Amino acid sequence: MLLRLENIQKRFGGVVALKNGELAVRAGEVHLLLGENGAGKSTMMRIVAGMMAPDGGRILWRGEPVRFRRPADAARQGIAMVHQESLLAPHLSVAENIFLGREDTGPLGWVKRRRMQERAERVIAEHRFPLHAEWRVERLSPAGKQLVEICRAVESGSSLLIFDEPTSSLSAAESEEVFRIVRTLRDRGMAVIYITHRLEELRAIGDRVTVLRDGETVYTGLLAETTTDGIIRHMVGREVSSIYQRHTLAPGEVRLEVRKLSRPPLFEGVSLSIRAGEIVGLAGLVGAGRTELCRAIFGVDPPASGEVFVNGRRVIIRSPREAVAAGLALIPEDRQRAGLATGLPVAHNITMANLDAISRWGFLNAAAEREITYAFIEKLRIRAESPKQIAGRLSGGTQQKVAIAKWIARGARIFLFDEPARGIDVGAKVEVFQMMDDLARSGAAILMVSSELPELLQVADRILVMRQGRITGELPGRTTQEEIMRLATLENASATGEHHA
């Protein structure tokens, strides 16, 4: 056994993050670590990687009890971690990041730049990564940054590599690439611990699985002997009853129409229309221009040319402010950065886009605000202790609900959801989709960008596919993943050209 955790405990103030963390990882296996948000997966892995010390329990490394005081201690033993959010130095080069903290130095502490560069190039070439040693890390995509972290782990001769939700910000093709890398590393005898939220990718990669729930290890076993339903049951601790149900109805009139919208080189000649009561999916690889299209429609980066019609009337939207005034809402993919003021109370977040309605001459009506926030917390079942709770302390799913509540409170009728289920629990995901369904049923028009094809197939009434800044086709909601991927990737798929509903 390479790594064994016995009865690991960790508490933060009054909150117990881990009360009985158990884990056993062998060399040459991919060990999946599953659990809902807050189950203690990341805490457990931070302990293994030496980023925090446990309050109790034992860590055995190659059978010997060890104690890591800092990440460098774990690194020296051969434990490396690829983080969910990159922990690289953005202004330094790829090579400098690969060797950060273990620079190759001469007798006077002089850094041997050339040699580090060469060694970095060697690792990159060996794995056929699309990187160059001298590139600055800030220019890299999230996928590129992960590759740098992987290089770092390989180059330092690690024998255990921890991936914390590596594919959460990657496209399907990029995820495939990560799987390929993980399998190669495993076949060379490395142990891999892999945290993920995407249940559909389990079988593509894992050998064994450990499930955490509320800080405790509740299941461990061979993946081949476990069903996905069984895993979900262990994660949630109950039968998942409320499977999402879409109530389709005959769509109403066109709420949002976009004609030949362009912002070269990001996207060009995009036309689409969404009717009241419709949820239209927008599929494509990362970099296909989907997020950019949403941002353009919403006025964050206004388009270079093209027309936008709201409820049949031509509108010119040059800022989010004008978009909001036209009844649009954008739920951005990056909640922490753009969707929510995480340092402010839930109440303030809910009313943020709607202060005009509860103020007169610039003065806020506290009673009206209280009423609105309580109403939404109840109606949308937002699990907050009180309206005063700081939004950043909520779980990812609850945060997303608050971000959506803001727009419902504002009375938006056209919703642009960019990756609405990213980084949230299985249970919360269903609730978010249900909210979208409710909105559609009440006559809202919804555009849903998602890289998770099963999600799109489950939620969307029809699916538009984008490739390299153009819409390459439209598919009915009951299509297949293969069909979407074909349009998203293939050169000759653009036969259908632009689409109108």
Partner 1 sequence: MIQRLLPFLTLVVLFVGLSLATPHFLTGTNLSSVVRQTAVINIMALGMTLIIVSGGIDLSVGAILAFGGLMGAMAMERGIAIPLAVLIGIVSGGFWGFTNGFLTTRLKINPFIVTLGTLGIVRGITLIVSNGLPVHQIPQNFSFLGEGSWFGVPFVLWVLVACALMVHCILEHTKLGRYAYAIGSNEVAAFYAGIPTAFYTTAVYAIGGMLTGLAGMIEASRLMTGQPTAGQGYELQAIAAVVIGGGSLRGGEGSVTGTLVGAFIMGLLSNGSDLLGISPYLQQAIIGAVIILAVAVDELRKRKMAS
Interaction between residue 338 and partner 1 (CB under 8 A): yes
Shortest Cβ distance from residue 459 to partner 1 (Å)?
23
Shortest Cβ distance from residue 83 to partner 1 (Å)?
19
- Candidates 116, 324, 394, 439: give the one binding partner 1 (CB under 8 A): 324
Say which amino acid occupies 368. Answer: A
- Candidates 225, 239, 313, 363: give the one binding partner 1 (CB under 8 A): 363
Q: β-strand 445-449 against 216-222: which pairing, if any? A: unpaired
Output DSSP code: residue 199. G
Of 357, 371, 376, 40, nearest to 218 by C-alpha is 40
d(CA 170, CA 86): 13
Interaction between residue 368 and partner 1 (CB under 8 A): no
| Region near partner 1 per CB under 8 A, out of 135-143, 212-220, 253-261, 318-326 | 318-326
Interaction between residue 332 and partner 1 (CB under 8 A): yes
Shortest Cβ distance from residue 347 to partner 1 (Å)?
10
Q: Taking CB under 8 A as the criterion, which residues in 108-137 touch partner 1?
A: none
For partner 1, the closer CB: 254 or 340: 340
Interaction between residue 501 and partner 1 (CB under 8 A): no
Interaction between residue 348 and partner 1 (CB under 8 A): yes
For partner 1, the closer CB: 108 or 366: 366
For partner 1, the closer CB: 12 or 110: 12
| Region near partner 1 per CB under 8 A, out of 262-270, 282-290, 348-356, 419-427 | 348-356
Q: How many CB atoms lie within 10 A of CB 128?
A: 11
Binding mask 387-406 for partner 1 (x = CB under 8 A): ------x------------x
Quick one: tokens of 382? 């937002």
d(CA 395, CA 401): 10
Radius of gyration of the chain (CA): 24
The count of chain residues that interact with partner 1, using the rule CB under 8 A, is: 33
For partner 1, the closer CB: 323 or 460: 323
Q: Taking CB under 8 A as the criterion, which residues in 7-26 touch partner 1?
A: 12-13, 15
Q: β-strand 79-82 against 64-65: which pairing, if any? A: unpaired
| 74, 50 Cβ separation under 8 angstroms | yes
Shortest Cβ distance from residue 368 to partner 1 (Å)?
12
For partner 1, the closer CB: 106 or 343: 343
In this structure, what is the dihedral angle of CA atoms 329, 334, 336, 340, given to the nearest 10 degrees? 0
Strand order in the sheet with 462-467: 328-331, 414-418, 445-449, 279-284, 462-467, 470-476
Interaction between residue 152 and partner 1 (CB under 8 A): no
Shortest Cβ distance from residue 12 to partner 1 (Å)?
3
Interaction between residue 367 and partner 1 (CB under 8 A): no
| 149, 88 Cβ separation under 8 angstroms | yes
Q: How many CB atoms lie within 10 A of CB 66?
A: 16
Interaction between residue 106 and partner 1 (CB under 8 A): no
120: CB partners within 8 A, 6+ apart? 94, 95, 98, 99, 133, 151, 155
Shortest Cβ distance from residue 480 to partner 1 (Å)?
34
Quick one: tokens of 64? 């010997």
| Region near partner 1 per CB under 8 A, out of 80-88, 97-105, 347-355, 377-385 | 347-355
- Candidates 337, 367, 482, 492: give the one binding partner 1 (CB under 8 A): 337
- Candidates 193, 353, 475, 488: give the one binding partner 1 (CB under 8 A): 353
| 391, 371 Cβ separation under 8 angstroms | no
- Candidates 320, 368, 438, 485: give the one binding partner 1 (CB under 8 A): 320
d(CA 461, CA 459): 7
- Candidates 1, 125, 364, 490: give the one binding partner 1 (CB under 8 A): 364
286: left (phi over 0), alpha (psi -120 to 50) or beta: beta
478: CB partners within 8 A, 6+ apart? 457
- Candidates 16, 92, 199, 344: give the one binding partner 1 (CB under 8 A): 344
For partner 1, the closer CB: 331 or 475: 331
Q: β-strand 445-449 against 414-418: which pairing, if any? A: parallel
Q: Taking CB under 8 A as the criterion, which residues in 31-60 touch partner 1?
A: none
Query: H or E stretch including 284?
Result: strand 279-284
d(CA 135, CA 138): 9
| 208, 124 Cβ separation under 8 angstroms | no
For partner 1, the closer CB: 14 or 106: 14
Shortest Cβ distance from residue 361 to partner 1 (Å)?
9
Shortest Cβ distance from residue 392 to partner 1 (Å)?
8
Quick one: tokens of 290? 């989907």
Q: How many CB atoms lie within 10 A of CB 322?
A: 15
Q: Taking CB under 8 A as the criterion, which residues in 270-299 touch partner 1?
A: 298
For partner 1, the closer CB: 124 or 326: 326
d(CA 319, CA 268): 20
Binding site for partner 1 (CB under 8 A): 12-13, 15, 298, 300, 320-321, 323-325, 330, 332, 337-344, 348, 351-353, 355-356, 359, 362-364, 366, 393, 406
